[in-house]
Amino acid sequence: MALPQHFLLSAEARNLSLAVVFRLSDDEAYEILRRMRWPETEGKAVCPKCGCLESYDIKTRRRFKCMACHNQFSVTSGTLFASRKLPLSTLLAAIVLFVHGAKGVAALHLSRDLNVQYKTAFVLAHKLREAMAAESGSPKLSGTVEVDGAYFGGYVKPANEKKDRKDRRVAANRTGKKQVVIVMRERRGRSLAFVARSEAAGAPEVLARIEHDTMLIADESTAWERFHRRHETLRVNHSQRYMDRGVTTNQAESYFSRLRRAEVGIHHHVAGPYLGAYAVEMSWREDNRRIPNGGQFVLVTEAALASRRSRNWCGYWQRSAA
């Protein structure tokens, strides 16, 4: 009797190969991006400034000139890839590499595979995280939702001598950079993640992101006491057991497992200002883990082309980011 095969190990989960993308010419990559940028017109250019459908095709420069407002634009103008310098085929390869990482992809790894500077790979990876955030959106969750929080960042290096070491669990001995990632996850559904200073500080945002008839499941933390006043809430005491008569937050813990392994095993360190971006990335990966890799590629690429020019990652290395 054959054992059931996990979806991620099946052939259906692999319908896009990196080798196929690397073999694309820049002209082929250009045609793919045109059709993904303007699917309603089957790749025919639409002016991003005035929306006019009529334009001149400047083939020698791969640009267009709008007949109505005379604005010149390209297939990446006004998107997350605006002002790019990388070839289009390299951009597509970068997206494939990025979505293939089960727990993320390090910028150093990306820079070596694409033969680009680390700075280029770092900014490109964060732009793709912006695309993931745009594709996920901010819907309100409903049904049965698990809520949990976990601390990240703020590492304190222990002293060399045992007599000089301090208890790093005590708040007074921390760096102050430690933050809480709070995840809300529907049973067999979507997840939302955000960063707060503490679980108590994030509780109001949890209540703002769920429908009124939602049932919540949380652990024994006192930060979740306010849930009982507005929603049916089930609790499980993790100091005693992880599952109590079917009540568990294992789905939320699964998300933290992926995020923790990404922080320790892939990136080794996640700086505080970027923690929210990594948290949303792992939420996207959790929600789309059962979509074939080709489908994940399409989702991220279409989201990047539909998003406006990034404000956070425009001129980042020139210290001119907004």
> Can you list the domains of the chain with their CATH numbers?
11-44+76-134+307-314 (no CATH), 144-288 (3.30.420.10)
Q: Average pLDDT over the chain, rounded to whole?
A: 91
For the chain, counts of helices (H) and of strands (E): 9, 10
Residues with Cβ within 8 Å of 45's Cβ and at least 6 positions away in sequence, in order, are 34, 38, 55, 57, 64, 73, 75
**Separation between Cα atoms, residue 11 and residue 9, nearest integer Å:** 7
Q: What is the pLDDT of residue 162?
A: 87
159 in Cβ contact with 166 (< 8 Å): yes
Encode pLDDT of 178-222 as tens digits. 789 999 999 889 999 999 999 999 999 999 999 999 999 999 999
**Separation between Cα atoms, residue 32 and residue 30, nearest integer Å:** 5
304 in Cβ contact with 131 (< 8 Å): yes
What share of the chain has pLDDT > 70, as a percent?
Answer: 95
3-state class of 245 per DSSP? coil
- More confident position, 170 or 310: 310
Q: What is the pLDDT of residue 322?
A: 45
Q: In what order do the strands lie in the sheet with 179-186?
A: 191-196, 179-186, 144-152, 215-218, 233-235
Angle formed by the axes of helices 293-306 and 118-136, nearest 10°: 90
Q: What is the pLDDT of residue 319?
A: 60
Using a cut of 0.85, tell me whether the model's pTM lies above it.
Answer: yes
